[in-house]
Structures are given as structure tokens and as C-alpha cells.
Chains A and B, each alone.
Chain A
Amino acid sequence: LSVLVFMMFQYSKLSGVHVAQVHAASHHGSLYNRSFIESFEETPMLVAVLTYMGYGILTIFGYLRDFLRHWKIERCHIAREKEEQKDFVPLYQDFENFYTRNLYMRIRDNWNRPICSVPGAKVDLMERSSRDYNWTFEYTGRVVHDVINLGSYNYLGFAENTGPCADSAAEVTIKYGVGVASTRQEIGNLDRHEEMEKLVAKFLGVESAMAFGMGFATNSMNIPALAGKGCLILSDELNHASLVLGARLSGSTIRVFKHNNMQSLEKLLREAIVHGQPRTHRPWKKILIVVEGIYSMEGSVVRLPEVIALKKRYRAYLYLDEAHSIGALGSRGRGVVDYFGLDPCDVDVMMGTFTKSFGAAGGYIAGKRELIEYLRSHSHSAVYATSMSPPVVEQIITSMKCIMGEDGLKRVRQLAENTVYFRKRLREMGFIIYGNMDSPVVPMMLYMPAKIGAFGREMLKRNIGVVVVGFPATPIIESRARFCISAAHTKDMLDRALSVISEVGDLLQLKYSRHRIQPSLARPFDNNVYEDIDD
């Protein structure tokens, strides 16, 4: 029951001040069998003030442009109602899109870039130019070749157009065609679907699994089938939009706990069990804890051993969304359950997507046989959605067999090496990086609104493609660039990318880190360890 905190004191060369570098690796004795190192460095005060100032100036100019547009001094490019409808109830609420019109449009050339080759480790982009400041784009006709791709969710490198996966998908297309023209329930249940579901169940180590055509729809259409009125959903602060939508559609009470904070979760559980439903105080029909394996905006990994211990103690159910972590974490690539060395039977509903690590599309839900049989008839997605296309199914089958074999283990190891190397080098350079040491999603903080656009453009000038994210996907001052490491990246590509990132970081002054890593124990912590209690 001991907590190990490593303190390393390091003299900062720049300020000559004695700065403490705290690495918090929490070891809860029997629960964790590996070190869990996460860090979220605090925003420097000066940077926060300057960011607010920048947003303030842009807001003033936004008001100016809206004024000019309203008084017709300037041509208006956005949607407007017709003249005859001016007196009706307004259809387009002007203010809601204030941010979109006045900031997003100005730096829009960093998103929706059309690519014209397979999005592997390198990708080809169509070059675009804009004459009216990003309201419309034209193609120059040129193609930018061999852009190093740090934005695709291609963790194990299966996004390729040659190799065994592509060949088998081509064969299946010749045999079955591309469209299925029915739902799973009616006449769209191919033998390939059955084989794929058996394979997914074997891969995860559970009894049975079921696949759906779209990852977002898997979450939003299946949570309503699992929870309803009179149930309680405890969801993490930073859950994905699909989980939030599914929870809202279900009609259950939703309570939110602080991100990855087990004290907050336990407090909510105890409160729920003691007080029951809001007005009647009857016990809840069921309590469902909804968490994700890797949170893609923060790069943090869920504290799964503690969640499972809590769920057993308080008799709740666990829904684990492994969209980014399946295939990317764990010594055998089996996801966050494998990463912590836990038993897959402890997680009641395992959900994941095939989009990220398998190079296909769609999602799955896996668990006990009774659960999957129930979902087959009660889930909206199963009953109404078209079934998955045969080449996609074949890609999933081939890539999964590959991961379970020798070649796949090589990829998993390459990804782990790449991740550790990339994160270590970026941290040494002095950037602020969020998240767990082992997560292949690397968010690098940019903070200021102008640097979002500048970073994207400067990286593309030097032939590196990155994804930058701002409000509303992140809090307003914490805009970031998100790198997704792939097993397909060679060390040369990573070295080239790192040197370019360092160059652009110096040009834009992005190296904010003062090596004062906020320990992940900064939240209120008491020495209770959530161990299994077998009643």
C-alpha cells in the first residue's frame, strides 16, 4: 500500500533557478503491475494572459466585421434568410456562429485538406489556394508528394494499398461485390460477418462480439439499448461526443466525474447508492460507468485497475470505449485491458472501433453471450443500419489475424518504441506535452489562436502534415497540435519530423515548458487503495 514518488531536482539553464521536476509514478501495491506516468503541465501565467489578450483583440475585430456585414458595407458569404422571410422567426442564429465566422474561417485552410493517396506514413495532398481569405478554395492543379503524415489514426500501419490485407479484400470484392443492400437482421448477414465476430471475440478474450458499420453509431445507438429511465450513467468529463450523445438519448440520469479522478468517481458512486433516484429515493435500476481507453484530446490512459476495483465494490457496470487504445496499447496489442494485465471478463461491455488500428471502418461491442444476443435484437444500429461492406470485413479479418501472429507483434513493438522515442525527444526539446508516457496520441500545446494557423501552415510548407485543434474541441485557451504516431513511421521519418518541429517551435516560440510537471497526484489523494472485495 505504498505510493512511490520520484523527485528529480534539475537546474534550469535558462533562469538559473532551482526548479523541481516531479515525476509521479503511482504504485498501488497489488493493483498496478507497471508504472503509470502521466503529466499535464500547468499553463504558464504569461502565456495564458497573452492568449486571452489575443482572443480579445480577435473578438473586437469580429464585432467590427459583423457590423460591416450587417450594414451591407461588406459582402456576406454566410447563410442568410431570404428578403421575404426577414420578419419570421430567425432561422440562422447569428451569434452562435460568431466564432466560426470570425476565427475558424480565417484559418480554415488547415482542415479538410483533400488527400489523393492512401493515408499511410506518407501521403499526397492536393494543393489549394484561396483568393478571398478561405471562403472559397481553388485547386492549383499541383500535388504535394510525400508529406509525412502525423495526423492519421494509423497506429499499426494497416492503412496501406499493398500487402495481404489489400489482396484479400480485393478477392472478396470480386466474390461478394461491394454493397450488401440490406440490414443485418433481414438478409445482410454474410458468413464473413459471422467469422469476423468470432475472430473479434477470440482477439479480445471474451465470449462473443458484434460489429456495426460506424463507430460513432455503435456508441450512440447502443447505450440507449443498455440504459434507460431509472438508470444512472457516470461518465468521464472528457468523454467523446458519441458517448455523450448515446447517454443523452438513453434518457437516464447522467452524472459527470472529473477526468480520470477516482476520488470523484467513488464519491459519486457512494452518493448514488446512499440517496438513490432524485425524488423517490428508490434504488437505481443500474449504474453504468462510461470511460474511454485513451482520451484522444489529452493522450491520457484510464486508470482501469482502480475503476474495476470500484465497480466491483459498489456493484456497478463498466462500459469501456477502446476506440484509440485497441491495437495500440498492450504487449500483444489487445488494448488497455492487456496493457494493465487484467481479466477481460471484468469489463462488462467492451466497445471499440476498427477505424484506428485495423485500417477499416466500423465498431464492435463485445462481452458476455447474453449481452450480445440482447443487443442483436434491441439495438437500433443492428436493426436499421446497413450491414458492413465485404471488403471492409475482410480487411478487419486479415488485419486481426496479422496482429495475432508474428508480423503483428512486430508492429505493436515498433509502435511502442516509436511512441516512447517521440515523446522523450519532444519533452527534451522543451515543448509542453500532455498525457501518458505510453499513449501514441501526443498533444502538443500551442495556446495562442494565431499560432494554431501558423503552426499548421509552417509544417505543411516543410512537408509535414499535422492536425491542429482549437475551440470547441478543447478549452478555449488550450489549443493544441495532435500527433498520432504510427508503426509505419521509420526512425528516419520521426527524426526528420522532430527536427522540423524543433525548427518551427523556435520560429514560433512554442517551447513553453519550464520542466515543472504537475504531478498526477495533485488532486486530493488519500491512501485508500481500491482492492477487490470478494463477498
Chain B
Amino acid sequence: MNFKNFTEYLAWLYYQYLLITGIYVLEPWEKSIFNSILFSAIAMVIYTSYVFVPIHLCLTLQLSVMMQNYL
């Protein structure tokens, strides 16, 4: 399939997302509800990982060093 520009390719990707999740058949307001819920869930996941993942990694490293010293 030839896409004239990047926007068209993105539009086709959005169309695939609509088809696979089944949102394609819903009315526009239902589509907005689902998209906003999904978007906020993904945003929360990204924010939480941004805040906590470095601290988790640090603590894991400290713990493994402590375990090694103990043994």
C-alpha cells in the first residue's frame, strides 16, 4: 500500500486501532469516552514509571550489593 505522506500512514494506523478494538462501530461520543479512558490510563502508566522506575532500580542494586556482602 502506498502512502503519500506520513499523515496518511498515521491515519491508516488509527483506522487499524479502531478496527481491532471494535471502536469503529460505535458512535463518536462513545469513541471519545473510550479514547480518553485509554489515553489517561496510558498517561498514568508513563507518569508512574517516570517517577518510580529510577528509584526502584537504585534500591534493587543496593539490595543486591547488601545480599552479596551478607553472603
| Chain A interface residues (CB < 8 Å from chain B) | 50, 53-55, 57-58, 61, 64, 103, 106-107, 133, 448-451, 453-454, 506-509
Q: Which residues of B contact A107 (CB under 8 A)?
A: 25
- Whether B30 lies near A61 (C-beta < 8 A) is yes
Other than the given A50-B20, A448-B19, 16 more pairs (CB < 8 A) read A53-B20, A54-B20, A57-B23, A57-B34, A58-B22, A58-B26, A64-B30, A106-B26, A449-B25, A450-B19, A450-B20, A450-B21, A450-B23, A451-B19, A454-B24, A507-B15
- Whether B21 lies near A53 (C-beta < 8 A) is yes
- Whether A103 lies near B25 (C-beta < 8 A) is yes
Given that A61-B26, A133-B27, A506-B1 are contacting pairs, would A454 and B19 also be in contact in the complex, using a CB cutoff of 8 Å? yes
- Whether B34 lies near A58 (C-beta < 8 A) is no
User: For residue A53, which residue of chain B has the nearest CB?
Assistant: B21
A53 to B30: give the CA distance in the assembly, Å: 17
B60 on the A face (CB < 8 A): no
Q: Which residues of A contact B16 (CB under 8 A)?
A: 509
B interface SS class:
helix
Q: Which residues of A contact B15 (CB under 8 A)?
A: 507
User: For residue A449, which residue of chain B has the nearest CB?
Assistant: B22
B18 on the A face (CB < 8 A): yes
Q: Which residues of A contact B1 (CB under 8 A)?
A: 506-507
Q: What's the least CB distance linking B53 to chain A, in Å? A: 27
User: For residue A457, which residue of chain B has the nearest CB?
Assistant: B24
| CB pairs A–B below 8 angstroms (13 shown) | A54-B20, A54-B22, A57-B21, A57-B34, A61-B30, A103-B25, A133-B27, A448-B20, A448-B22, A450-B20, A454-B24, A507-B1, A507-B15
Q: Which residues of A contact B26 (CB under 8 A)?
A: 58, 61, 106
Q: What's the least CB distance linking B30 to chain A, in Å? A: 6
User: For residue A50, which residue of chain B has the nearest CB?
Assistant: B20
Residues 20 to 48 of chain B near chain A (Cβ within 8 Å): 20-27, 30, 34
Q: Which residues of A contact B19 (CB under 8 A)?
A: 448, 450-451, 454, 508-509
A454 to B18: give the CA distance in the assembly, Å: 10
Q: Could you mark each residue 40-71 of chain B with 1 if its beta carbon is under 8 Å from any beta carbon of chain A, else 0?
A: 00000000000000000000000000000000
- The contact of A55 among B22, B23, B27, B34, by CB within 8 Å, is B22
| Chain B interface residues (CB < 8 Å from chain A) | 1, 12, 15-16, 18-27, 30, 34
Q: What's the least CB distance linking A71 to chain B, in Å? A: 17
Given that A506-B1, A507-B1, A508-B19 are contacting pairs, would A450 and B27 also be in contact in the complex, using a CB cutoff of 8 Å? no
User: For residue A103, which residue of chain B has the nearest CB?
Assistant: B25
Q: What's the least CB distance linking B31 to chain A, in Å? A: 10
A54 to B25: give the CA distance in the assembly, Å: 11
Q: What's the least CB distance linking A102 to chain B, in Å? A: 9
- Whether B20 lies near A106 (C-beta < 8 A) is no
User: For residue A134, which residue of chain B has the nearest CB?
Assistant: B25
Q: Which residues of B contact A106 (CB under 8 A)?
A: 25-26
A57 to B21: give the CA distance in the assembly, Å: 7
A526 to B15: give the CA distance in the assembly, Å: 48
Q: What's the least CB distance linking A299 to chain B, in Å? A: 25
User: For residue A107, which residue of chain B has the nearest CB?
Assistant: B25
User: For residue B19, which residue of chain A has the nearest CB?
Assistant: A450
Q: Which residues of A contact B18 (CB under 8 A)?
A: 450
A448 to B21: give the CA distance in the assembly, Å: 9
Q: What's the least CB distance linking B29 to chain A, in Å? A: 11
Q: Which residues of B contact A509 (CB under 8 A)?
A: 16, 19
Q: What's the least CB distance linking B17 to chain A, in Å? A: 10
Given that A506-B1, A507-B1 are contacting pairs, would A54 and B27 also be in contact in the complex, using a CB cutoff of 8 Å? no
- The contact of A450 among B12, B22, B30, B34, by CB within 8 Å, is B22
User: For residue B16, which residue of chain A has the nearest CB?
Assistant: A509
A506 to B15: give the CA distance in the assembly, Å: 12
- The contact of A453 among B12, B25, B27, B30, by CB within 8 Å, is B25
- The contact of A58 among B12, B20, B25, B27, by CB within 8 Å, is B25
A107 to B26: give the CA distance in the assembly, Å: 10
A509 to B15: give the CA distance in the assembly, Å: 11
A511 to B19: give the CA distance in the assembly, Å: 15
Q: Which residues of B contact A54 (CB under 8 A)?
A: 20-22
A133 to B28: give the CA distance in the assembly, Å: 11
Q: Which residues of B contact A53 (CB under 8 A)?
A: 20-22
A451 to B16: give the CA distance in the assembly, Å: 10
- Whether A57 lies near B24 (C-beta < 8 A) is no
Q: Which residues of A contact B27 (CB under 8 A)?
A: 133
Q: Which residues of B contact A450 (CB under 8 A)?
A: 18-25
- Whether A57 lies near B22 (C-beta < 8 A) is yes
Q: Which residues of B contact A508 (CB under 8 A)?
A: 19
